[in-house]
Structure formats: C-alpha cells, structure tokens
Amino acid sequence: MKTLRDTGLVFGRSFGQTVRNPIWVFVTLMQPLFYLFLFAPLLKRVTTAQGFPEGGAYNVFVPGLLVQLALFGTIFVGFTIIAEVRYGVIERLQVTPISRAALLLGRVLRDLVALAVQIVIIIVVAIPFGLDVALGNALVGLALFILIGVTFSSLSYTLGLKLKTEDALAPFLNAVVLPLLLLSGILLPMTLTPGGASVTNIDIRSTDLGLRRSAANRTRFQLATLVQKLAPNLHRWNRSVVFSVDRLRRDIGWEPEYTFPAMVEQTYEWWLRLGLDQSQEFDFGFEDQLLAHVPR
C-alpha cells in the first residue's frame, strides 16, 4: 500500500508538471495528427500496389502510427530524469521515506496516461477518414500499446539514471529506435518490400524456379572459368571468338538445344509455312558466277 500511495504522489507531481507545460501538450498531440492528415492520404494510391494488405490505407497506416507514437512517446523520456538528477531533485527525494520504486513507477504511469490520451484521440479522429475498428480490437490494441510504452519508458529512465548525460543517452536511443522504425514495418507494411516478408520467400532454393536459377548461375560460372582457360589473354568481349562445342560438352556438360541440321530444317519449314517460296524471288546470279570458278 505504501508503494501505491507513493506512486500516486509521484504521478501527481509529474502529471502536474506536464499539464502546466502547454507547448508539450500541443506538440505531443499535434505531431501524430500531422502524420494522420498529411501522410496518410498519400497512401491511397499505394493501396493498389501488389502486396499492400487489404482494408484500405487508414486501416493499415493508423495502427503503425500508433505503434510509432507508443515508441517515440516513451523512449526519450529519460532526458527529463537526467535534468532532475543534475539539479539534485532525485537526490533530495531519496532522503525522504518515499519508495524507491515509486520514483520510477509514478513517472512511467504519467507517460502511460499521456500515451493513452493520444491514442484515443487519434482513433476517434481517424474513424471519419475510413478507419474501421471494433471496440474489442481497439481495447486489445490499446493494451499492446501500453505494454510497449511501459517497456520503453522504463528502459529510457533506467538508461538516464545510468548514463547521467544527454550526450551519451541520445546516440544510444537513436541506435535502438532507427532500426526499429525502418525494419519493423511501422510506417509501411513489409509486404511492399522486394520479395515480401512471407514464409514462402524465406528460402527460394527449394522451389523449381530457384533450382533452375541456381543451375543457370553454376553454368554461367563454369562457362566463365572455361573462357579464362581457353583464352587467358582475352580481356574484351568485343572481339570475334569461336569456341568448340565439343569442348563445352566435355568441360561443363553443356548440350545445345538444337543441332545445325535441326535448325536448318526448322527454318525451312517456317519458310514453306509462310509461303515465302511462292511470294519471293531470289537472284542467285552472283552465286552462280562464284560457283563457275570452283574447279570440279
């Protein structure tokens, strides 16, 4: 009971400081609304892209926006406790009979209340724009967002007490937040990435297409190795080079798809099928003159 009472006292003090700061209230509430009003409409054209989840732009974007709000709204709260440590506020509170756990729990509770208010406002504002959410799903999502807030708020306060300087805390938090923001699919679904984030794309080597591509890559590698052996002084491919088909068969097991007689026969059948033998005339006079000089 003492811890709960002390937590309430710390919460009242911290929440009072927050409410008395109108700039903080304005920035905290307006930043997610800017994302909602200015960025979400741009996603309407993306909804037709392959891999975009069903449900519309706002049903995909708003949950990601709320996760971003829960992350950024709590991960940087450690800067406030660094200032209180520097001015001796924490040291003076430690000499009082107040619970040590309450010093952090009260601040975390303040952050969670502010986060919950922001989430409710964004959900209510997004509903007229097309957000479709059931009450039960909204409550479950709110619980998950609160869990994210508790985790990162506690982590931020702990790091602030340990590091005791903004110069050390800022780069550490940025190193944690930026990879989460860019790689977790918060703003855009991961299904829009090349290849998507599906189980079927984790290992393509077991598919028929993947096996054919692997075999083709091995053949190209073997052919490149053979070229180096046949013509080690060849540095440019704009020269006329002829390689033996028998050598290719023997060294890399390559087989031509068509033989020369088969290619001639196929071309002749195509020529007859189109009726070119009846519609075109050819003058072989020059060839006949050449053949006249050939000894028989």
Cβ neighbours around 56 below 10 Å, total? 17
What mean pLDDT comes out for the span 15-38? 77
190 and 217 in one domain?
A: no
On whether residue 202 sits in a domain, the answer given is no
Residue 259: which domain range? 207-292
Would residue 200 count as lying in a domain? no
Residues 79 and 175 in one domain: yes
Tokens describing residue 113: 């209340």
Q: Who wins on pLDDT, 246 or 154?
A: 154
* 103 within some domain: yes
Q: Are 181 and 216 within one domain?
A: no
Q: Are 166 and 222 found together in one domain?
A: no
Q: Tokens for 49?
A: 């892209």
DSSP 21-69: -HHHHHHHHHHHHHIIIIIGGGGGTGGGSTTPPSS-HHHHHHHHHHHHH
Written as six digits, the tokens of 296 are 């028989």
Please say which residue of 163, 194, 225 terminates a domain.
194
Do 134 and 241 lie in a common domain? Answer: no
Q: What is the pLDDT of residue 189?
A: 61
Domain for residue 199, yes or no? no
Q: Are residues 87 and 161 in the same domain?
A: yes
Return mean pLDDT, the chain: 76
pLDDT value, residue 197: 44
User: For the chain, what is the domain count?
Assistant: 2
Q: In this predicted model, what pLDDT tens digit does every residue of 199-243 receive, in sequence order?
A: 444 444 455 665 666 666 666 555 555 555 555 555 444 455 555
Distance between CA atoms of residues 153 and 289, nearest Å: 95
With a cut of 80, say whether residue 143 has pLDDT above it.
yes
Asked if residue 201 is part of any domain, the answer here is no
Domain assignment of residue 271, yes or no: yes
Q: Are residues 169 and 234 in the same domain?
A: no
Same domain, 182 and 230: no
